[in-house]
């Protein structure tokens, strides 16, 4: 069975190669090839999962060594895979949800002329993400990490004719390079310290290493995770990434890219357990980001950007749980999986709404869509109930456990983290209820379609005639069936995972697990979570459900205006990074022109001037040469006589 592990990566990688290199002859069938390769990878994952279930707990780690990648002296890097309970969980999520997104894209991208290339990029994305989670060493993980970055750049900027999409792709690429630098430095420190990159020897040796070194590794790993998972302070790219096609948003935000940072922290749990300062940094980043994203989500009128802010916040919950150590690792991954279902369903539902609304993304121009798009309404509604933690649905089980674990941290820190998690739950209920009310309830606020020549944000392939009113309708089956399947996961996954602590026991051999000692009982935490949920829903209903919604957003308070601008994150980056970078660049250019070029050009001018003067001596007259020879001889004789006299 171990020989099948490599095929998990090979199938979508082959699909990407065929679709990107096969040319236009595959335009009619390329999307089916992409879907087939994703499905093959999922089937292989399911087979391996069934095989793993038949093994004992200690035998469930499978490995496959393909070849020695870089064997140079003491430097040994292998291309080898490790399939254990943690990586298997990600494999099923990536290939399962990823395959549904592939099938959804058949209908969504039906009229796009470059659909074959789009499916090639989707396959490339899956292959890179699978390589990341299956690698048995940090260096190979880094290859998959960079592959995900490349694929995200290609997909976010897929409609590169739109300046906003091209800019968003570059922004995502550059911000992630900052995080990638942290990961690369961590890997370098590992090799210098441990002499290897492989997970087992590195994680087994951290206990015998100085805390300062382990802390440095942990902080650099956290920097890498912040970039990939859009956590503070490297979160600015996520909202702009919505410029890509909606299936890309679902793939990046639900099953692949943004979950990579949580995987990295959890996989490296032994490092953070041995470095309390780095672990504190992780939990702080998670707590700040879950509130940051939730506040931003309250002020967004763009449905996709509201969901993007939600992703940032939910990943913050996962990072908070991962920062709690053994009492939180399993719950971080549990919430990651349930989030994969309901967030993918929410994004695909948003794409269905856009499909029926002339690609309009402004929720203030929606309203009353529940009667026109019943399947989208029900599936999106179930995802909404799951994400706010409605009792009995997936998000309730996973998020509730994270809040319990936060309080179980103990002391003042536990109260602060638990309070932040509860506050985030209330704000989540508020902004997601706002999304539901603006989109599916109230009066129709539809507006005529814009002129595509004047508004270049219209997605290719969607028939738009200037001045035409939207005629909302249900999406085709290729789009609704994946939404229905994801809705089942949104409803049932969390409950199934919680039966007899099945999910915690599944991950325990890899992530370890400790029961925290919370000052509050589980029933108290659950009751508090439900109460704040209801408060958030009630506030949203009072503001958006009972009163007419203006098509143009009011100016709002100072906090609202700041939230519309992503809490000034781009402004901060501009002042703290861009402007100093410009001044530094100008200074270096001036130094280069005035000093470096001055020395080089001055030397050249001196040589040129001296050459010009010497050239005058070569005049072609014999008498001049004779005088020169006589003068030279006289100088030599005089010098010789002077030396002898001395």
Express each pLDDT in 480-511 by its tens digit.
999 999 999 999 999 999 999 999 999 999 98
Q: For position 463, what pLDDT does the model report?
A: 55
Count the neighbouring beta carbons within 10 Å of the beta carbon of residue 356: 19
CA pair distance 102, 33, nearest whole angstrom = 10
Segment 96-115 shows an average pLDDT of: 93
Residues 172-207: tens digit of each pLDDT: 999 999 999 999 999 999 999 999 999 999 999 998
Provide the H-helix boundaries in 1-84: 5-21, 30-53
* Residue that is written with structure tokens 């659909």 in the block: 115
* Residue that is written with structure tokens 């902004």 in the block: 431
Segment 219-228 shows an average pLDDT of: 96
> Residue 46 — pLDDT band, cuts 50, 70, 90?
very high
Residue 186: partners with Cβ closer than 8 Å, 6 or more residues away: 138, 216, 217, 220, 221, 224
Q: For position 464, what pLDDT does the model report?
A: 59
Backbone torsions φ then ψ of 367, nearest 5 degrees: 100, 140
Segment 593-621 shows an average pLDDT of: 82
Segment 613-619 shows an average pLDDT of: 74
Q: What rounded mean pLDDT belongs to the chain?
A: 91
Backbone torsions φ then ψ of 579, nearest 5 degrees: -65, -50
Count the neighbouring beta carbons within 10 Å of the beta carbon of residue 442: 18
CA pair distance 582, 579, nearest whole angstrom = 5
Share of the chain above pLDDT 70, in %: 97
Backbone torsions φ then ψ of 162, nearest 5 degrees: -90, 120
Share of the chain above pLDDT 90, in %: 66
Asked whether 158 and 191 are in contact (CB, 8 A), the reply is no
Is pLDDT above 80 for 329?
yes
CA pair distance 303, 180, nearest whole angstrom = 30
Q: Which residue has the higher pLDDT, 121 or 409?
A: 121
Helices 85-108 and 260-267, axial angle in degrees (round to 10): 180
Specify the long-range contacts of residues 33-37, CB closer than 8 Å, at least 24 apart: 33/119, 34/102, 34/119, 34/120, 34/122, 34/123, 35/99, 35/102, 35/103, 35/106, 35/119, 37/11, 37/12, 37/123
Distances (CA, A) of 393 to 160, 335, 490, 492, 495: 39, 12, 7, 6, 7
> CA torsion angle for 216, 218, 221, 226 (degrees, to 10)?
-110
Distances (CA, A) of 509 to 61, 84, 267, 513: 10, 9, 12, 9
Segment 277-294 shows an average pLDDT of: 96
Asked whether 59 and 70 are in contact (CB, 8 A), the reply is no
CA pair distance 354, 517, nearest whole angstrom = 47
Asked whether 228 and 184 are in contact (CB, 8 A), the reply is no
* 367: DSSP letter: -
Q: Which of 427, 298, 457, 313 is nearest to 363 (CA)?
A: 298
Segment 233-258 shows an average pLDDT of: 88
Length reported for the chain: 646
Number of separate helices (H) and strands (E) present in the chain: 26, 2
Residue 608: partners with Cβ closer than 8 Å, 6 or more residues away: none
CA pair distance 112, 190, nearest whole angstrom = 46
Segment 420-424 shows an average pLDDT of: 96
Residues 505-536: tens digit of each pLDDT: 999 999 888 887 778 888 999 999 999 999 99
Encoding tokens for residue 502?
Answer: 């099945």
Backbone torsions φ then ψ of 467, nearest 5 degrees: 85, -10
Q: 481 forms bridges with which residues in the sheet?
A: none
Is pLDDT above 80 for 615?
no
Which H or E element spans position 130? helix 115-134
Q: What is the gyration radius of the CA atoms in the chain, in angstroms?
A: 30
| Furthest-apart CA atoms within the chain: distance in Å | 118
CA pair distance 98, 148, nearest whole angstrom = 14
Asked whether 469 and 449 are in contact (CB, 8 A), the reply is yes
> Residue 458 — pLDDT band, cuts 50, 70, 90?
very low
> CA torsion angle for 440, 446, 451, 452 (degrees, to 10)?
10
Q: Which of 180, 217, 211, 178 is nearest to 197 (CA)?
A: 217
> Residue 459 — pLDDT band, cuts 50, 70, 90?
low
């Amino acid at each position: 069975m171990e020989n099948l592990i490599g095929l998990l990566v090979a199938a979508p990688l082959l699909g990407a190669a065929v679709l990107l290199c096969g040319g236009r002859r595959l335009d009619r069938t390329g999307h089916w090839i992409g879907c087939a390769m994703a499905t093959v990878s999922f089937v292989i994952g399911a087979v391996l999962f069934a095989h793993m279930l038949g093994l004992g707990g200690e035998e469930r780690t499978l490995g496959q060594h393909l070849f020695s990648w870089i064997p140079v002296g003491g430097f040994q890097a292998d291309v080898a895979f490790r399939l254990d309970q943690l990586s298997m969980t990600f494999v099923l999520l990536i290939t399962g949800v990823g395959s549904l997104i592939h099938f959804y894209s058949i209908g969504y991208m039906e009229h796009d002329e470059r659909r074959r290339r789009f499916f090639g990029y989707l396959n490339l994305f899956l292959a890179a993400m699978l390589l990341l989670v299956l690698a048995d060493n940090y260096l190979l993980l880094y290859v998959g990490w960079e592959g995900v970055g490349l694929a995200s750049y290609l997909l976010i900027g897929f409609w590169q004719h739109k300046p906003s999409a091209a800019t968003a792709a570059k922004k995502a690429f550059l911000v992630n390079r900052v995080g990638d630098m942290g990961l690369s430095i961590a890997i370098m420190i590992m090799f210098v310290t441990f002499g290897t990159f492989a997970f087992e020897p590195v994680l087994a040796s951290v206990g015998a290493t100085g805390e300062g070194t382990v802390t440095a590794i942990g902080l650099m790993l956290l920097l890498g995770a912040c970039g990939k998972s859009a956590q503070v302070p490297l979160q600015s790219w996520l909202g702009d990434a919505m410029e890509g096609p909606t299936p890309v948003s679902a793939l990046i935000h639900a099953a692949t890219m943004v979950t990579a940072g949580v995987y990295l922290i959890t996989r490296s749990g032994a490092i953070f357990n041995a470095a309390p300062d780095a672990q504190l940094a992780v939990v702080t980043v998670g707590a700040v980001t879950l509130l940051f994203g939730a506040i931003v989500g309250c002020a967004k009128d763009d449905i996709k950007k509201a969901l993007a802010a939600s992703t940032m916040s939910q990943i913050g919950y996962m990072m908070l749980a991962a920062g709690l150590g053994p009492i939180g690792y399993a719950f971080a991954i549990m919430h990651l999986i349930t989030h994969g279902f309901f967030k993918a369903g929410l994004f695909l539902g948003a794409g269905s709404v856009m499909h029926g609304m002339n690609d309009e993304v402004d929720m203030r121009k929606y309203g009353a869509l529940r009667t026109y798009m019943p399947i989208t309404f029900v599936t999106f509604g179930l995802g909404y109930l799951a994400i706010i933690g409605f009792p009995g649905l997936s998000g309730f089980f996973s998020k509730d456990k994270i809040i319990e674990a936060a309080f179980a941290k103990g002391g003042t820190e536990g109260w602060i983290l638990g309070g932040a998690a509860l506050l985030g739950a209330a704000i989540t209920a508020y902004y997601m209820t706002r999304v539901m009310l603006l989109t599916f309830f109230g009066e129709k606020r539809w507006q005529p379609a814009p002129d595509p020549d004047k508004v270049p944000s219209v997605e290719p392939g969607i028939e738009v005639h200037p001045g035409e009113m939207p005629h909302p309708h249900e999406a085709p089956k290729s789009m609704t069936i994946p939404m229905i399947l994801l809705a089942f996961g949104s409803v049932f996954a969390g409950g199934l995972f919680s039966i007899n602590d099945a999910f915690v026991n599944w991950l325990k051999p890899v992530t370890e697990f400790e029961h925290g000692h919370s000052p509050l009982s589980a029933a108290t935490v659950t009751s508090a979570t439900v109460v704040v949920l209801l408060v958030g829903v009630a506030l949203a209903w009072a503001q958006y459900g009972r009163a007419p919604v203006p098509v143009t957003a009011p100016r709002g308070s100072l906090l609202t205006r700041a939230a519309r601008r992503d809490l000034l994150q781009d402004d901060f980056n501009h002042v703290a990074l861009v402007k100093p970078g410009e001044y530094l660049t100008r200074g270096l250019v001036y130094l280069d022109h005035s000093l470096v070029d001055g020395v080089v050009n001055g030397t050249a001018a001196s040589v040129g001037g001296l050459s010009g003067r010497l050239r005058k001596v070569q005049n072609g007259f014999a008498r001049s040469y004779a005088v020169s020879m006589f003068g030279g001889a006289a100088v030599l004789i005089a010098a010789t006589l002077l030396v002898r006299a001395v």
